[in-house]
Structure formats: structure tokens, C-alpha cells
Structure 1
Amino acid sequence: MINLDAKVLDKIVKNTIAAVEKSKSQIFDIYEAARAEAEKIRQDVERTKQETADIIFRVDELEKRERRSRLRLMEVSRNFRKYTEADIKAAYEDTSNVQLELAMARLQEQNLRRQRDDCELRLKALKSTVEKAESLVSQVGAVLGYLGSQMGTVMSQLETLQASQVFGAKIIKAQEEERRRVAREIHDGPAQSMANIVFRAEVCERLIETDIVRAKEELSDLREQVRVALRETRKIIFDLRPMTLDDLGLVPTLRRVLETVKERSLIFTELKILGQEKRLDAHVEIGLFRIIQEALNNVEKHSRAANAWVRIDFRASVVSAVVEDDGQGFDSAESVGKESFGLMGMRERINLLRGELSVKSEAGKGTRVFITVPLKQ
């Protein structure tokens, strides 16, 4: 049997997890940003194509009007006896107005054609980026799968050293430290979604020279996008590492999460505490919070529920929690072997805490998630 030092293994695993998580997060961010911007540019291409078709039709109609007005002007100009000076003046003004409108429409058509061509070139480049990023995500997934199998060997070795529980706590701590670092980076620097705002600003710059009214509308939309990006960035920071978890503990942090769910999704939420509320070990609070947070994310995204309840029971040797909703539910039997990444992550965390997790659901009757974590005596 290979004699491995627990501290060395801990350091190796911590560094490996930090490096892989960092790479996975960065690649996934690139993929998501490129895919999102490609979709927006595709919509811009479709919109610009439609606007180009509309202006081409308008130019054709104006050309017809311009020809008719010139013929009318020639007619009244040749027949002084039949038409008055007022008729000639009206025909001249009508021809001038139509010619001016036609010139502006032709200029707008040129601008729209140029915008359409630019958008199509950007879309082509972004599609290539998306394909490359998607390929990288798949490759990293394969690497993570390989590392996962290797981690199983490491965990077995640590179990022989009777240190798997401490090791699991250190893994969670390393993950949370990485989350805190990422949160600071997002907070101090621009979010990746700002790339789309920059592109919209470029569109506004072009529109200012050709269509000031449209430019004002685009700027109004741009301002709203900035507000949304700021709000989402703040939410990401909270999701990555809520400071209240360190300062106030599990229960106050969950109250804030439930209030956010209620405001964002209009789902009535309620938190009930049984037993004597108390602070737990840091890794237990973090693990419980992440598991409950993921369960609430599933309620918000998939359940179509009107109500959600969280119950936490503090006891001397164990803490338990139940997350329940009255949503559409699902067939638990049919879902065996088809668990989402979120639920898989919940099970991984509960295993590190040496706890138990079960999900009971039935179509049309909501879902309940049961969580139990033993405490040190």
C-alpha cells in the first residue's frame, strides 16, 4: 500500500480543484458571453434585414412618386394658359419635397445595408467563437470526469488515514475561498455582459448621425440594460459568497434569499425555525446554505409553484432541513438516473458533510427535499 501524507494530499487536491474550477468558470463565461452576444447580433441582423427590406420598398414607392411629380411639373410648365401660377408653384414644391424625401430614404438605405453587412460579419465571427468555446467546454468536462475518478482514489486513501471528513471540509473551504475571489473580481471589474452594451453603444453612435429619434430610443434601452447588468452582477456576487453568512450565520442569510425569491418570482416564501437557533461550524453552515439555495433555485426555475417553505430543525446532535413547494412536481421513479447537475452538486455536498439527502415528488403535488447533517459532539 502506498504511504501518502494527508497534508500533501490535501494540498494537491486543493490546488487541483482551484485550478480546474477557475478554468471551467472562465471557459464557461466565455462560452455564455459569446453565445448570448451571437443571439443578440442574430436578432439585430434579422431586424436590420427587415428594416432594409422596408426602406427598399419605400425607395421604390418614392421613385414612382418622383417620376409622377416630374411629369406633372413638365405638364403644368408647358401649359401656361391651362394652369395658373399657383398650380405651377404647387407642382414645383411637390416635386422638390418628393426628391428630398427620396434622397433621405436612399441615404437611410445605404446606412442600413452597411449595418446589415457589419452585423453579418460579426455574427459569423461570433459563431466561430461559440463553436470553439463549446468544444473547450466539452474537453474540460472530460478532464473533470477523469479528475473525478482520480479523486475517488484520493478519497479512498484519505479514508484509510481516517481524515476524509476533515478533507471534505477543506475542499468546501477551498471552493468558498475561490468563490470569494471571483466575487471580488466581478465586483471590481466589468461584467462580461457589458460587451453587449458596448456594441449597442456603437449602434447608437451610428444612429445619431442618421436618425436622432431612433438614437434616443436606443439610448433609453441601453440605460435599462446597464441597470439590469448591474442588478445581475450584484446578484451573482451575493450568490457566490453572501457576506451575511460569515457575519450573521445561516438563518439570517436564508431569510434574505427567501425575500429575494419572493420579490423576483412572486413566490410566497416562509422560513420556520424549530429548536434553539445557533451558529454551526463554518463548513456546515456553508454546505447547508448551498444545498438549500440550490433547492430554492430549482423551485424558482422549474416548479411553477405559488408557495415555498423552508423548515430548519436545530438539535443537539443533528440539524435537519426541509424545502417544500406546491408546484407541478415530477415523477420521482422516472427521474432516477436523470438527475440535474444542481441535484448532483447537492448530493456531493451532503456526502462531504456525512449527511443524508432525499427528494420526494409527485406530478401535480409539489416537491420536498429532506436534508439531515450530523453535528460534532
Structure 2
Amino acid sequence: MIDVSYLDKIIQKVKQVVEKSKEEIYGLSENARQEYERAKRELEQVKTEIKEIIEEVDRLEKEYIKARIRLVEVSRNFRLFKEEDIKNAYEEAHSKQIELINKREKEKLLRNTREHLQRYLKNLEMTIKRSEELIINISMVIKILNNELSTLSDKIGELQQFQALGLSVITAQEEERKRIAREIHDGPAQSLANIVMRAEYILKLMEVNPSLVKDELLTLMELVRKSLADVRKIIFDLRPMSLDDLGLIPALRRYIEQFTKNYGIFVELTVLGKEYALDSTLAIAIFRIIQESLNNVRKYAGATEVVVKLEYLPDRINGTIRDNGCGFDVEKVLADKEGTAFGIMGMRERVQLLKGKFEIRSKIGRGTEVMFFIPVKKDNKSGGN
């Protein structure tokens, strides 16, 4: 006889696996979008620099040719010129040659950087497109899990079909993890390749014009800092480590502090009731809902202030995120199923997976209020009240 409670545990496990995959893919998609915009801006800057340096190279080539002609003239008629004139002609030609070599090397580096950025942008476009498709597919799987597989305990005859689906979901998750690892590798790795190219250029520069090395090293240091910041952001987007180390409220305070610092939007966090530790699945869900709400405020609301309120009750957690932004037509936005609606649907599905309720209220010119409550069972508490 099949143990129905065991089947229920399998269902819950599959739901957790699928939800976790969706969180990882969503985080990667958001990061890819931000990285795409950053790389696009960098490409435009590089194109401008290439145009400028081509003009400089053309100018220096003309000046170098002129200096060489002068040197040839002085050399052929050295008796007619003073030794100082000959020396000056030689130094002028040599100086123009060195400057021309430096500019050509820089032009080559910039062209390589431009090609790398163009390839990188194409890869990011593919990543964004694939992640959007995967999120839609996984959302469908989650709906199936919620609407159909939740009754599996009453349909023992369908066990084989469920097991096959569970296996395919887990396999898809593992494949997606491989892809995420590959995308993360390709992104930072390309940045490091650029760093290596700049380092090679600096080595050549040390031989021909050491005085320029300091400025190039400063540029290289800034590139390293930017790459490190990108890697840290990828790691944070995948999962904020402070959530596991400190708990939900400290992690939220840290995130809100950084959010306010980065975007100049004042966010007030209010916690009501006696705080208790939560299961990691529940904690990350609440964190992601608040994170997505604040991202929507930043992108669309034009708000200056946000109030985030969490209320700990014995059997549930209530949450509210309210801003003083421009507001929007909720029905119209949800009907479009793009942009803001994408994030709203993700929050709603996350709450629904945890058997909670989600509501969003907004009026044009009067701000927006996101509300949710999630039931907390004994199993979802870690350490009790």
C-alpha cells in the first residue's frame, strides 16, 4: 500500500525545487538586464574613444612624416645645420614615433574591447531571452503543481506520471544550474580577459613610455573594482548570504540601507510583534517579495519615500510595502503581462506557493501599496517564538 503522506512530501519537495530554480533564473535574468545596460553604455564610450584616437593617429602620422622629412633634410645637408639642429630634428622624429606607437597600441586595445563588448552584448541578449522563456515555462510547472499535483494523494494511480514529472523537473534544475554557472563564468571571465589585455599593454608601455604607466594602472584598478562589484552583485542576487547568517530582519535592514544609499529613496522598515526565526524557504520568499517591490518602486514609481512593515503573528506574517510614488492602473498593467506585471505576477505566485494571499492597490498620483500575508506553521518556524 502506498503511503499517501510520503507522496505529499514528494509534492512539497518538487514545489520547493521548482520555486528555487525560478528564483535563481529570475535573479540571473535581472542581473543580465543590468549588465546589458552597463555593457551597452561602455560600448558607446569605447566607440567614442576609438573615433577620437583615430583622429589622433591620423594627426600624429602627418606630424611624424613631417618630422622624418625634416630629419632626412638635415641629415643630407648636415654641414648647413648646427649640431643642435640635427639633434633636435632626431629627437622630434623619435618622439613622434614613440607617441604614434602608443596611440596605435591604444587603438588596437580599444578595437579589441569593442569587439569583445559586441560579442558580450549578443550573449547577454540570448541569456535574457532564454531566461524569460524558462521563467514562463517554470511558472507553468508551478501552476501545474499547485492546481493538479496537489490532489495526487487522491489519485494514487497517477503516481508514475508524477514521479516522471518530478524527475524531469529536477533534471531541468540541474541543467539550469549548469547554464547559470556557465553564464557567470563567461561574464566575469570576459572582464578578466580585458584586464589581462590592459596589463599586457601596460607591460609594453613600460618599455616605450613609462610616464604613462601610472594612468593606465589607475584605469586597470578601476576596472578590477568594477569587475569585483559585478561578481559580488551576482552572488547577492542569487542569494544574500546575510539572510542565512543573520536572519530575515537584519538582512532586510542591510539591503534597505544599501538600497537607500544607491538610489536616494528613503525606506523605513517597521517590525511589529515578537520576531521569531523562520524556515529558509519562507524567509527567502518574504525577502524576495520586498526586494522586488523596492525594485519596482525604483524603476517605475518615482517615489521619494517607502514604508515597509512586517508583522509577526503566531500563525502568520503580514507584510506591507507602501510608497508615495506616481501610482498606476493595476488592471491595465496586469493585462499587459510585461514589465512591472512580470514582477507582480512573480510575487503573487511566490505567495500563492506558500498558501498565502497577495494584493496590490494603486491609484494614479496616490502611490502604491503591496500587501501580503503568509501562514506560518510549526514546521516553518526555526527555533520557535
Asked if the contact 2:8–2:153 (Cα under 8 Å) also holds between the matched residues in 1, the reply is no
Relative to structure 1, the CA distance from residue 26 to residue 42 in structure 2 (aligned partners, 3 Å threshold; closer, same or farther) is same
Relative to structure 1, the CA distance from residue 313 to residue 245 in structure 2 (aligned partners, 3 Å threshold; closer, same or farther) is same
Work out which of the residue numbers 55, 69, 92 in structure 2 matches 1:53. Answer: 55
Residue 315 of structure 1 aligns with which residue? 313
Asked if the contact 1:52–1:112 (Cα under 8 Å) also holds between the matched residues in 2, the reply is no
Determine if the alignment matches structure 1 residue 159 to structure 2 residue 150: yes
Distance of 1:109 and 1:65 partners within structure 2: 17
Superposed, 1:83-98 pairs within 5 Å as: 88-98=82-92
Distance of 2:68 and 2:99 partners within structure 1: 13
Residue 359 of structure 2 aligns with which residue? 358
Distance of 1:238 and 1:120 partners within structure 2: 28
Residue 271 of structure 2 aligns with which residue? 273
Q: Which has the higher contact order (CA 8 A, sep 6+)?
A: 2
Relative to structure 1, the CA distance from residue 72 to residue 362 in structure 2 (aligned partners, 3 Å threshold; closer, same or farther) is farther
Superposed, 1:120-199 pairs within 5 Å as: 122=116, 126=119, 131=122, 134-135=125-126, 138=129, 141-142=132-133, 145-146=136-137, 148-161=139-152, 192-199=187-194
Deviation of 1:315 (Å): 2.9
Letter of the 2:321 partner, please give it: V
Letter of the 1:97 partner, please give it: E
Letter of the 1:63 partner, please give it: I
Asked if the contact 1:42–1:123 (Cα under 8 Å) also holds between the matched residues in 2, the reply is no
Relative to structure 1, the CA distance from residue 39 to residue 156 in structure 2 (aligned partners, 3 Å threshold; closer, same or farther) is same
Residue 306 of structure 1 aligns with which residue? 304
Please, what is the CA RMSD of the aligned residues? 4.5
Aligned residues: 348
Relative to structure 1, the CA distance from residue 191 to residue 276 in structure 2 (aligned partners, 3 Å threshold; closer, same or farther) is farther
Work out which of the residue numbers 260, 263, 266 in structure 2 matches 1:262. Answer: 260
Deviations 1:48-80 (A, max 9, x none): 4431321221221343355457668878945xx
Unaligned runs of 5+ in 2: 155-165, 379-385
Superposed, 1:19-58 pairs within 5 Å as: 40=42, 43-44=45-46, 46-58=48-60
Deviation of 1:348 (Å): 0.9
Distance of 1:335 and 1:6 partners within structure 2: 36
Deviation of 1:291 (Å): 0.9
Unaligned runs of 5+ in 1: 79-86, 164-170
Asked if the contact 2:356–2:374 (Cα under 8 Å) also holds between the matched residues in 1, the reply is yes
Distance of 1:363 and 1:19 partners within structure 2: 35
Per the normalisation by structure 1, the TM-score is 0.71
Which structure: larger Rg? 1
The structure with more helix, counted as a fraction of residues: 2
Relative to structure 1, the CA distance from residue 24 to residue 44 in structure 2 (aligned partners, 3 Å threshold; closer, same or farther) is same
Letter of the 2:198 partner, please give it: V
Deviation of 1:89 (Å): 3.8
Secondary structure, aligned partner of 1:193: helix
Deviations 1:282-306 (A, max 9, x none): 4333322221122122233443433
Asked if the contact 2:303–2:326 (Cα under 8 Å) also holds between the matched residues in 1, the reply is yes
Asked if the contact 1:311–1:321 (Cα under 8 Å) also holds between the matched residues in 2, the reply is yes
Distance of 2:298 and 2:79 partners within structure 1: 74
Letter of the 1:278 partner, please give it: Y
Distance of 1:312 and 1:11 partners within structure 2: 27
